[in-house]
Chains A and B, each alone.
Chain A
Amino acid sequence: MTVAWILRRVRRQSVSARRALWAAAGSFLVLGLVSGATVLGLRATRGWMNTVGQSVHVIAFLRDDMQPDQAAQLVDLLQRRPGVARARLVEPAEALARLRDAARPLPATGSWLDDLEPGYFPRSIEVALVASADLSQRATELSRRLRGLAGVADVDAMTNGVARLAAWVRFGQRLGWAVVLAAGIAALSFLVSTVLRGREARRRQAQVLVLLGETSGNVRLPANIALAAAGLSGALAALVVLRLAWPALLTVVERALGIVPTPAGFFLGFWESAAGVLAAPMLGWVLGYLSTPVPGWVDA
Chain B
Amino acid sequence: MIWLEGVSYLRAGSPALGDITLGVSCGELVVVQGPTGSGKSSLLAVAAGVQAPDSGAVWIADHNIVGLQASSLPYVRRNVGYLPPLPMLISDETVLENIMLALAVRGQPIDSAEADARETLAMVADSAWENRLARSLSTGQQRLVALARALVGPPPLVVVDEPASGMGGDDREGIARALVWARERGCAVLCATSDPSFAQTLVDVGGRQVHLEGGRIAGAPAIGLVPTPVQFPDMDMGTLKGVRGEQSSPTPYATSDGVREPEKADSAEVIQPADRRSSGEESS
Contact = CB atoms under 8 A, between A and B. Distances in A.
Contact of A297 (B52, B93, B106): B52
A205 interface: yes
Instruction: Give the secondary structure class of B's interface.
Output: loop
A2 B77 contact: no
Describe A's contact surface by its main secondary structure.
helix
A111 interface: no
B283 A6 contact: yes
Given A297-B51, A297-B52, A213 B80 contact: yes
Interface string B37-57: 000010001001011100000
B102 interface: yes
Nearest to B84: A300
A204 B70 contact: no
A208 B82 CA distance: 11
Contacts of A298: 50-51
A296 interface: yes
B187 interface: no
Interface in A191-215: 201, 204-205, 207-215
A234 B38 CA distance: 55
Contacts of A296: 70, 73
A9 B113 CA distance: 14
A212 B98 CA distance: 10
Interface in B78-92: 78-80, 82, 84-86, 88-92
A218 B283 contact: yes
B71 interface: yes
Given A215-B71, A215-B74, A300-B51, A5 B85 contact: no
Contacts of B88: 204, 207-208, 211, 300
A299 B12 CA distance: 13
A213 B76 contact: yes
B257 interface: no
A213 B101 contact: no
A204 B91 CA distance: 9
B191 to A, nearest CB: 16
Interface residues of A, number: 31
Interface in B124-161: 149
B204 interface: no
A216 to B, nearest CB: 8
B284 interface: yes
Contacts of B41: 300
A126 to B, nearest CB: 70
A201 B84 CA distance: 19
Contacts of B105: 1, 209, 212-214, 218
A213 B79 contact: yes
B74 A214 contact: yes
A165 B86 CA distance: 71
B93 A213 contact: no
A4 interface: yes
B51 A213 contact: no
B77 A3 contact: no
A210 B89 contact: no
Contacts of B5: none
A235 B75 CA distance: 38
Q: Which of B86, B98, B104 has the most CB of A within 10 A?
A: B104
A261 B204 CA distance: 92
A4 B110 contact: yes
B266 interface: no
Contacts of B107: 1-2, 5
Nearest to A15: B92
Nearest to A5: B104
A213 B77 contact: yes
Contact of B104 (A1, A201, A204, A215): A1
B51 A205 contact: no
A158 to B, nearest CB: 69
Interface of B: 41, 45, 48, 50-52, 70-71, 73-80, 82, 84-86, 88-93, 97-98, 101-102, 104-107, 109-110, 149, 234, 281-284
27 contacts: A1-B107, A1-B283, A2-B282, A4-B110, A12-B93, A16-B92, A16-B93, A204-B90, A205-B90, A208-B101, A210-B77, A211-B82, A211-B88, A212-B78, A212-B102, A212-B105, A213-B74, A213-B75, A213-B77, A213-B106, A214-B78, A218-B283, A297-B70, A300-B41, A300-B50, A300-B84, A300-B86
Given A214-B105, A221-B283, 4 more contacts: A1-B283, A16-B92, A207-B88, A300-B88
